[in-house]
Structure 1
């Protein structure tokens, strides 16, 4: 498929990600924490580990990894109401995505009868909050599990790989990597790719918002997503030394 170039507000090429930063150990009381930044999108991820399992999980004799996600009130240009009474469907969908993504790279038997919760709170939203959350949540999870090993709670690190996520889409006819809010809000095709360090996909969320798309265009989007995931995996390695 012919590559279409379009001007992007920040001057990036169509296959270029925003600046991504992963800052560890940003919370004193969390076993693992990470401030993840995809451009102007900032998400605080904090992982805690508790002994025991939810009642429905106890018969498995295997651990559990779950997540919670929320947008703070001032994270967007209009105040977002706190989800105190009823949860928003979008928030529940995203936190389930984060949980599924993390469980894909954890040996739950090796984790033992422990529950890991990763809280992802959006401090500032400019597109890609769910993909940033997955990417930063893995770092927080890694550090929390390392702390659990060092405390003698489990014998070895139960991580079997890495997972990261990135958005791709079609905007003004061009296939783009890592959409910011302005691009995402007018995207003709919107897609999120979640994959492991071995290139296997955990989840693919793709929608033709304004146009349909064929397999050739899907292939172009997946190639962009794959390249973005590789960069994120490398950055995770850089800050955690997971594969050294």
Structure 2
């Protein structure tokens, strides 16, 4: 039995609160079990140099963990005068993932900056940031659309993420920290609502794994993400009908120039 009494293929309870921050163009609080992340979306007209004059927008992300998000206090990156390698890798992942679900031309020459701040960590902070980041990005785009700043709603697909892993020889979905810390295989999956993979991150922590195990993990993750997207759809309600109103553009979804 898992620490929180879940079955091997069961997600932790998920709660997403839209418009959690008053001043941001889009925001949410996402809770996946005991992991809690606040995400804000900011619209800025200053696009990266490689997008200037293109008529296309961009999505970028920043990620940080509050000092007491964990059992022991973490030192803030600003006090170390550099961004930690872990934070840098995670925020690049978040940006790549969410760029796969938006039409840059429909967004116009502007950038949406997603700030993902972990206020409590119990595993899966990067996947929660992607899942919640999608909601914050949606609301920022809806603000532009409602105010007629853009003509077409730019989000083409739902995007969500989840962790999977092997603990004590068993393939499991949505690992908490206790499970993640002892997992022999640890993976993060990002997918869209069409069942297509956006990113797969996986590593063997204590030994190799087989193709059969890999396929079981992919199937577990796929089923979990389908359920998460259903929750996203419920959170957005009628607004979710805006998604997919424009086709994907010709961009390279995984273009990672940051």
**For this structure pair, what is the TM-score category when the shorter chain's length is used for normalisation?**
over 0.9
Which consecutive unaligned segments of at least 5 residues does structure 2 have? 243-258
1:125 is the counterpart of 2:141: no
Match of 1:4 in 2: none
SS at match of 1:33: strand
Which consecutive unaligned segments of at least 5 residues does structure 1 have? 1-6
Q: Aligned partners of 1:168 and 1:70: how far apart in 2?
A: 22
Q: RMSD of the alignment, in Å?
A: 1.0
Match of 1:19 in 2: 13
Normalized against structure 2, the TM-score is what? 0.90
Q: What is the CA deviation profile of residues 149-172 of structure 1, one whole-angstrom value per residue up to 9, with x for unaligned ones? A: 112211121000110000000000
Q: Aligned partners of 1:243 and 1:54: how far apart in 2?
A: 30
Q: Once the 2 structures are TM-superposed, how far is the Cα of residue 9 of structure 1 from its aligned partner?
A: 1.0
3, 6, 10: which one pairs with 1:9? 3
Q: Once the 2 structures are TM-superposed, how far is the Cα of residue 211 of structure 1 from its aligned partner?
A: 2.0
Q: How does 1:47-86 map to 2 (within 5 A)?
A: 47-84=41-78, 85-86=81-82
SS at match of 2:39: strand
Q: Once the 2 structures are TM-superposed, how far is the Cα of residue 55 of structure 1 from its aligned partner?
A: 2.3
SS at match of 2:182: coil
Q: What is the CA deviation profile of residues 127-158 of structure 1, one whole-angstrom value per residue up to 9, with x for unaligned ones? A: 00000000000000001100111122111210
Match of 2:202 in 1: 206
Match of 1:218 in 2: 214
Q: What is the CA deviation profile of residues 169-201 of structure 1, one whole-angstrom value per residue up to 9, with x for unaligned ones? A: 000000000000000000000000000111111
Q: Aligned partners of 1:67 and 1:224: how far apart in 2?
A: 27
Normalized against structure 1, the TM-score is what? 0.95
Once structures 1 and 2 are overlaid, which stretch shifts more, 52-61 or 24-33? 52-61
Q: Once the 2 structures are TM-superposed, how far is the Cα of residue 51 of structure 1 from its aligned partner?
A: 1.7
Q: Aligned partners of 1:60 and 1:80: how far apart in 2?
A: 41
Match of 1:168 in 2: 164
Q: Aligned partners of 2:216 and 2:204: how far apart in 1?
A: 15
Q: What is the CA deviation profile of residues 25-57 of structure 1, one whole-angstrom value per residue up to 9, with x for unaligned ones? A: 110001111101110000001001112312232
Q: Aligned partners of 2:195 and 2:90: how far apart in 1?
A: 21
Q: Aligned partners of 1:235 and 1:79: how far apart in 2?
A: 32
Structure 1 runs of 4+ off > 4 angstroms?
none
